[in-house]
Amino acid sequence: MEFSAMLGSIGLCVGAIIAAAVIYFVVTAIKGKRAERKERATLKQHRDQQGKRAQR
């Protein structure tokens, strides 16, 4: 196998690994934001219920 062909193959592998890492970080960031938003909504609902109990 020629040296330049070997470098091309290595470059493709490295590029694929980097692309997979970027996709992974984007997906985990989106999931994290979604979970955080859900947690905030749950906390707000809990606070609202506590406020209603205090008013009674």
What count of other Cβ atoms lies within 10 Å of the Cβ of residue 5? 9
Tokens 């890492």 belong to 21
Domain that holds residue 33: 20-56
Query: Model-level pTM?
Result: 0.60
Domain-embedded: residue 55: yes
- Tell me: pLDDT of 47 over 80: yes
Domain-embedded: residue 2: no
Look at residue 1 in the predicted model and tell me its pLDDT: 66
**How many Å apart are CA 32 and CA 51, to the nearest integer?**
28
CA atoms within 13 A on the CB side of 47: 6
Look at residue 54 in the predicted model and tell me its pLDDT: 66
pLDDT tens, position by position, 8-45:
999 999 999 999 999 999 999 999 998 888 889 899 88
- More reliable by pLDDT, 7 or 21: 21
**How many Å apart are CA 19 and CA 28, to the nearest integer?**
14
Q: Domains in the chain: how many in total?
A: 1
Domain-embedded: residue 12: no
Domain-embedded: residue 39: yes
